[in-house]
Amino acid sequence: MSDQSKRTALVYAECAEGKLRRVALEALGAARRLAGDGGSVHAVLAGGGSAASPALAAAAAELAARGAGVVHVIDDPALAGFAPEAYAAAIGAAVAAVQPSIIVLGHTAAGRELAPRVAAALKGGHIADVTAIQVPEDGGADAILTRPLYAGKAFEQRRLLPGASCVITVRPNNLPVAEPVEAGSEGKVAALAYAAPPLWTTVRDVVRKASGRVDLAEADIIVSGGRGVRSADGFAPLEALAKVLGGAVGASRGACDAGYCDYALQIGQTGKTVTPKLYIACGISGAIQHLAGMSQSRVIVAINKDPDAPIFGVADYGIVGDLFEVVPLLTAEFERILATPGS
Amino acid sequence: MQIAVLMKQTFDTEEKIELVGGAVAEHSVKYIINPYDEYALEEALRLREAHGGSVTVISCGPGRAVEALRTGLAMGADEAVLIAEDGLAGNDRAIAAALAAAVKSLQPDLLLAGLFAVDRGAGSVALQAAELLGLPHASAALKLEIRDGAGGGGRTAVVERDTEWGVETVEVPLPALVTAQQGLNEPRYPSLPGIMKAKRKPLREVTAAELGLSADDLAPRTERVALLAPPVRAAGRKLAGTPGEQAAQLAELLQREAKLF
Ligand SMILES: Cc1cc2nc3c(=O)[nH]c(=O)nc-3n(C[C@H](O)[C@H](O)[C@H](O)COP(=O)(O)OP(=O)(O)OC[C@H]3O[C@@H](n4cnc5c(N)ncnc54)[C@H](O)[C@@H]3O)c2cc1C
């Protein structure tokens, strides 16, 4: 066995609204596999501001219980807002402390900004937006990482070159989360010294999305509306269904262009790429640019009044009908089912 | 204000892409300027119109990337630099190093780039270049404004950016990198006089070696082992019955067959 099968991996465990994001646990799962059996896995948690400390402690405990050998916690006022240089330096501090050959982050808005900086600072590689990892029996060396190309029209598989260090960002919702380790073998939690760099970025204002909304990239269930919803109010039945299912609302560009909803909801080639367990397309024709953003969803449902709409070509289940009639019926149906325990 | 814009020539990913023997069939693709880089260039041109200065477009890629740079010049850029390197496709760190070296020699006040390229979709190169150059960045810009430093401070960029947590407004000191998100602007088309003028504008070709990059700077860290077509998704079934029956059936199927609930 080469040294390569005993790697040190570091996970940047991203938090949002005071909680560990699920993608952080997916990144931890990836890091454990890539480190291999004899390897070591570290995590770094970074945050700051008044409410940060208890949130970081809870997140650290969870990471330690799921296979992070050491969780390095940085709690610093410089990390109160998202100044990328401050967060990149926090990851840099952990890199200096543990000398990892693999660093894993979520391919999220923050991860996409931090990973290239960390990679360049390390003179390492960056494999972005990874959707699958195959690890040979004997550990993490020669792992094959799969990522989409050309707006989902192809996939490439890459491997790390021997001796190189590499940053990997994993697409939310695609890889399994790290499983808890046996009681008694939890990792340690330790504070990590951090000298904030001179801050370049001043956050002037944040117009937050309605809180409590499930983030599209990480949502398990997405109810999506197209031009067929006909107005901003037309999204109301979709929102009601999403609420009952605990999902998020998305949209086609047709709906965004028509002004029925915010561009932040747009799914597709020029919007977000999503891979939920369930995608319900309502009044969406299924243009190729829309499919580029959602066709890897596990189960796709289409509701459209045109039986020839291309969306039916990718849907597992299709209902030909008026969304304003069908969606409320579905909401009622799920309200009934989900209210019955054990159903 | 001196502005540099990083540009990539990409496949038009909206067109059909054919994979033959683990590679993209070149005859089946059309080359365009990466749409996100067009937003970056358009913003650069508007800023030059407002503040004066000049716009340089820079690309690193094979010889054919000259077409994209000419189009950039036709849209209104003042000059272009092609780092002519054939073998760097997929080697983000080498491309970032080459672009950073070219940018360094220009010393721009502002560096603009697209949020990501629609072909590889990694969004890594421009940010790696910013790190190598020691520049701040603001990514996914929906709006960009240049502010003259108040109270003796230097010039800054005020950027409204698209994030998962909402629209965030940040201010960074110049020089800085700003990456363009869809919605920043509507790029112009090259005009006929613009196309004529572009032919006489300076377009320089350099190699990575001429920029002073070593083999170590360009060494890849990862390699492709396969290029695959995506799994095809077979069409499923359409349900039948009244809308009420279909809704009930669907809920049942999602529960029992797809095991989602
Ligand atoms: C460069 C480029 C990038 C693009 N990027 C994206 C992208 O990221 N995402 C994206 O989505 N699109 C994108 N598009 C646009 C894309 O080509 C389509 O125009 C768009 O997806 C269409 O949106 P739609 O399906 O909502 O509208 P339409 O195509 O108009 O379809 C509306 C559908 O609603 C159905 N309908 C109407 N009323 C009802 C009703 N009462 N009940 C049920 N069904 C009903 C109709 O039968 C129809 O099928 C892009 C295009 C370009 C050129």
Cβ–Cβ under 8 Å, residues A73 and A192: yes
Residue B21: per-residue pLDDT: 80
Residues of A in Cβ contact (< 8 Å) with B165: 16, 82, 109, 206, 208-209
Residues of B in Cβ contact (< 8 Å) with A120: 93, 96, 127-129, 131-132
Domain extent, residue A244, equals 216-339
Q: Which atom of ligand 1 is nearest to the CA of A267?
A: 9
Q: Give the containing element (helix H, strand E) for B88.
A: none
Amino acid at A316: D
Q: Are residues A52 and A132 in the same domain?
A: yes
- Give the span between the Cα atoms of A111 and A11, in whole angstroms: 11
- Give the span between the Cα atoms of A318 and B98, in whole angstroms: 50
**Banded pLDDT at A211 (limits 50, 70, 90):** low
Radius of gyration of chain A (CA): 21
And the tokens for A13? 């465990």
Q: Are residues A230 and A173 in the same domain?
A: no
Residue A339: per-residue pLDDT: 85
For residue A250 and ligand 1, the question of a CB distance below 6 A is answered with: no
B128 has a pLDDT exceeding 60: yes
**B128-132, B177-181, B220-224, B233-237: range with lowest mean pLDDT:** B233-237
Stretch 115-134 of chain A: residues touching chain B, C-beta under 8 Å: 115-117, 119-121, 123-129
The reply, when asked if residue A268 is annotated as ligand binding, is yes
Angle B107-B108-B111 from CA coordinates, rounded to 5°? 125
DSSP 8-state secondary structure symbol assigned to residue B26: G
Amino acid at B12: D
Amino acid at B176: A
A6 has a pLDDT exceeding 80: no
The answer to whether residue A81 is domain-embedded is yes
CATH class, range B2-218: alpha beta
The answer to whether residue A204 is domain-embedded is no
Amino acid at A81: G
Cβ–Cβ under 8 Å, residues B30 and B11: yes
Stretch 243-262 of chain A: residues touching chain B, C-beta under 8 Å: none
Structural domain spans, chain B: 2-218, 234-261
- Which of A263, A300, A326 is facing B183, going by the closest CB pair? A263
Most confident of A38-52, A101-115, A201-215, B24-38: A101-115
Mean pLDDT calculated for residue range A113-122: 98
B178 has a pLDDT exceeding 80: yes
CB pairs under 8 A between A and B: 251
Taking an 8 Å cut-off on Cβ atoms, the answer to whether A112 and B139 are in contact is: yes
Residues of B in Cβ contact (< 8 Å) with A333: 247-248, 250-251
Whether A49 and chain B come into contact, CB under 8 Å, resolves to no
Mean pLDDT calculated for residue range B24-37: 89
A210 has a pLDDT exceeding 70: no
The reply, when asked if residue A227 is annotated as ligand binding, is yes
Whether B17 and chain A come into contact, CB under 8 Å, resolves to yes
Residue A1: per-residue pLDDT: 40
Q: Which atom of ligand 1 is nearest to the CA of A311?
A: 49
Q: Are residues A26 and A172 in the same domain?
A: yes
| Distance between Cα A252 and ligand 1 center (Å) | 6
Residue A264: per-residue pLDDT: 84
A3 has a pLDDT exceeding 60: no
The answer to whether residue A200 is domain-embedded is no
CA distance B245 to chain A (A): 9
Mean pLDDT calculated for residue range B162-187: 93
**Banded pLDDT at A37 (limits 50, 70, 90):** confident
Single pTM value for the model: 0.89
Angle B43-B45-B46 from CA coordinates, rounded to 5°? 65
CATH number at residue A42: 3.40.50.620
Q: pLDDT (tens digit, 9 = 90+) per residue, A79-99?
A: 999 999 999 999 999 999 999
A290 has a pLDDT exceeding 90: yes
Cβ–Cβ under 8 Å, residues A135 and A36: yes
Q: Which atom of ligand 1 is nearest to the CA of A323?
A: 42
- Which of B165, B223, B230 is facing A209, going by the closest CB pair? B165
Residues of A in Cβ contact (< 8 Å) with B158: 204
Taking an 8 Å cut-off on Cβ atoms, the answer to whether B163 and A326 are in contact is: no
Q: Are residues A57 and A178 in the same domain?
A: yes
Q: Are residues A130 and A231 in the same domain?
A: no
The reply, when asked if residue A21 is annotated as ligand binding, is no
Q: Which of B117, B160, B116, B165 is nearest to B138 (CA)?
A: B160
Q: Are residues A152 and A11 in the same domain?
A: yes
The reply, when asked if residue A304 is annotated as ligand binding, is yes
**B66-70, B149-153, B220-224: range with lowest mean pLDDT:** B149-153
- Give the span between the Cα atoms of A153 and A60, in whole angstroms: 38
Q: Are residues A49 and A141 in the same domain?
A: yes
Q: Are residues A138 and A33 in the same domain?
A: yes
Q: pLDDT (tens digit, 9 = 90+) per residue, A123-157?
A: 999 999 999 999 987 665 689 999 999 888 899 99
CA A157 from chain centre, in angstroms, equals 20
Taking an 8 Å cut-off on Cβ atoms, the answer to whether A330 and B247 are in contact is: yes
For residue A278 and ligand 1, the question of a CB distance below 6 A is answered with: no
Overall domain count for chain A: 2
And the tokens for A100? 């990892």
SS (H, E, C) chain A: CCHHHCCEEEEECCEECCEECHHHHHHHHHHHHHHCCCCEEEEEEEECCCCHHHHHHHHHHHHHHCCCCEEEEEECHHHCCCCHHHHHHHHHHHHHHHCCCEEEEECCHHHHHHHHHHHHHHCCEEEEEECEEECCCCCCCCCEEEEEEHHHCEEEEEEECCCCCEEEEECCCCCCCCCCCCCCCCCEEEECCCCCCCCCCEEEEEEECCCCCCCHHHCCEEEEECHHHCCCHHHHHHHHHHHHHCCEEEECHHHHHCCCCCHHHEECCCCECCCCCEEEEECCCCCHHHHHHHCCCCEEEEEECCCCCHHHHCCCEEEECCHHHHHHHHHHHHHHHHHCCCC
Residues of B in Cβ contact (< 8 Å) with A221: 260
Asked, as a colleague might, if the bond just before B175 is cis with ω within 30 of 0, I would say yes
The answer to whether residue A211 is domain-embedded is no
Mean pLDDT calculated for residue range A284-290: 93
CA A341 from chain centre, in angstroms, equals 30
ipTM over 0.90 threshold = yes
Residue A12: per-residue pLDDT: 98
Q: pLDDT (tens digit, 9 = 90+) per residue, B189-202?
A: 999 999 999 999 99
Question: Which residues, listed in sequence order, are joined to residue B159 by a DSSP beta bridge?
Answer: B144, B170
Which of A17, A91, A126 has the most B C-beta neighbours within 10 Å, making it the best mutation to test the interface with B? Answer: A126
For residue A254 and ligand 1, the question of a CB distance below 6 A is answered with: yes
Q: Are residues A64 and A177 in the same domain?
A: yes
Residue A38: per-residue pLDDT: 85
Q: What CA–CA distances, in Å, run from B80 to A180, A275, B111?
A: 54, 39, 14
The answer to whether residue A203 is domain-embedded is no
DSSP three-state, residue B201: coil
**Banded pLDDT at A342 (limits 50, 70, 90):** low
CA A150 from chain centre, in angstroms, equals 20
**A178-182, A212-216, B62-66: range with lowest mean pLDDT:** A212-216
* Percentage of residues of chain B with pLDDT beyond 90: 82
Taking an 8 Å cut-off on Cβ atoms, the answer to whether B118 and A204 are in contact is: no
CATH number at residue A322: 3.40.50.1220
Residue A186: per-residue pLDDT: 96
CA distance B200 to chain A (A): 34
Stretch 179-238 of chain B: residues touching chain A, C-beta under 8 Å: 182-183, 220-230, 233, 235-238
Mean pLDDT calculated for residue range B245-252: 95
A340 has a pLDDT exceeding 80: no
Whether B170 and chain A come into contact, CB under 8 Å, resolves to yes
Q: pLDDT (tens digit, 9 = 90+) per residue, A301-335?
A: 999 999 999 999 999 999 999 999 999 999 999 99
**A135-149, A238-252, A275-289: range with lowest mean pLDDT:** A135-149
A2 has a pLDDT exceeding 50: no
- Give the span between the Cα atoms of A168 and A112, in whole angstroms: 10
Q: N- to C-terminal Cα distance for chain A?
A: 50
CA atoms within 13 A on the CB side of B77: 31
- Give the span between the Cα atoms of B134 and B127, in whole angstroms: 10
Q: Which of A13, A84, A7, A21 is nearest to A215 (CA)?
A: A21
Q: pLDDT (tens digit, 9 = 90+) per residue, B69-104?
A: 999 999 999 999 999 999 999 999 999 999 999 999
Cβ–Cβ under 8 Å, residues A161 and B224: no
> What are the φ and ψ backbone dihedral angles of B158, each rounded to 5 degrees?
-105, 120
Which of B254, B256, B257 has the most A C-beta neighbours within 10 Å, making it the best mutation to test the interface with A? Answer: B254
Mean pLDDT calculated for residue range B178-187: 95
| Arithmetic mean of pLDDT over chain B | 94
Q: Are residues A254 and A187 in the same domain?
A: no
The answer to whether residue A201 is domain-embedded is no
The answer to whether residue A197 is domain-embedded is no
More confident residue, B203 or B165: B203
A102 has a pLDDT exceeding 80: yes
For residue A302 and ligand 1, the question of a CB distance below 6 A is answered with: no
